[in-house]
Amino acid sequence: MIFLNFWLNMKNNKVGSGRIPYRNVSYLFLLFGIILSACETGSKSANENVQSRLSNKELKYFSHGKQLYTQYCSNCHMENGEGLGTLIPPLKGADYLLDSVAQMARAIKYGIRGPITVNNIEYNQPMPANPDMTSLEIMELLIYISNAWGNESKPVGLQEVEDITGSK
């Protein structure tokens, strides 16, 4: 917020009083700042409590995982993890994911074909395989999707992912 800086600078300097008193004007700048941001859409706070739940290392995985999610997943599962109608299943609050997070490593690596049931709704859209993703990337992605949007799961480990996908 440039305007906030303006305001603080002016407040600290307490420079003179011309025809327009600067201290009054500084409050107005703050007001304009508020007006300017008033029509922006609400900030994303869905991942807020992740900061307190995950360790620093896990948070690093989480944030890498978010980048991978944007690259590989969000076109279908959407940025908000809610999927699309009954065509693409959600990840947010999805029992299929949260009941066995580590098992999803296989789905990410090798894809899914045929019907699956998520939160009692049947979905039948093939999910593409991602054979080039490394186990580390899959782990990061899993940590992200199982802890974003209000999801809460114990972070999966690299060994688990390697065991389940059968590859390094």
Partner 1 sequence: MNIKGLKLVIALTILAFMYSCGNDSTEKLPIMGRTQYKEIDGKLDTIYHTIPEFQFVDQDSMIVTEETFKDKIYVADFFFGTCPTICPVMKQQMLRVYDAFKDNPNFGILSHTIDPEHDTVAYLKEYSMRIGVEDNSVWKFVTGDQDEIYEIGSAEGYLVPVGEDADAPGGFIHSGAFILIDKEKRIRGLYDGTKSIEVSALINDIPKLLAEYEK
Q: Which of 2, 14, 20, 57 binds partner 1 (CB under 8 A)?
A: 20
- Interface with partner 1, residue 39, by CB under 8 A: yes
- Distance separating alpha carbons of residues 34 and 156, to the nearest angstrom: 42
Q: How far is the CB of 145 from partner 1 (least distance, A)?
A: 16
Site string for partner 1, 59-98 (x = CB under 8 A): ---------------xxx-x-----xxxxx----------
- Interface with partner 1, residue 4, by CB under 8 A: no
- Distance separating alpha carbons of residues 125 and 122, to the nearest angstrom: 10
- Distance separating alpha carbons of residues 125 and 88, to the nearest angstrom: 7
Q: Which stretch binds partner 1 (CB under 8 A): 4-12, 29-37, 137-145, 158-166?
A: 29-37
- Distance separating alpha carbons of residues 84 and 80, to the nearest angstrom: 11
Question: Is the separation of the CB atoms in 69 and 144 below 8 Å?
Answer: yes
Question: Is the separation of the CB atoms in 6 and 26 below 8 Å?
Answer: yes
Chain residues that interact with partner 1, rule: CB under 8 A: 19-21, 24-25, 28, 32, 35-40, 74-76, 78, 84-88, 125-126, 128
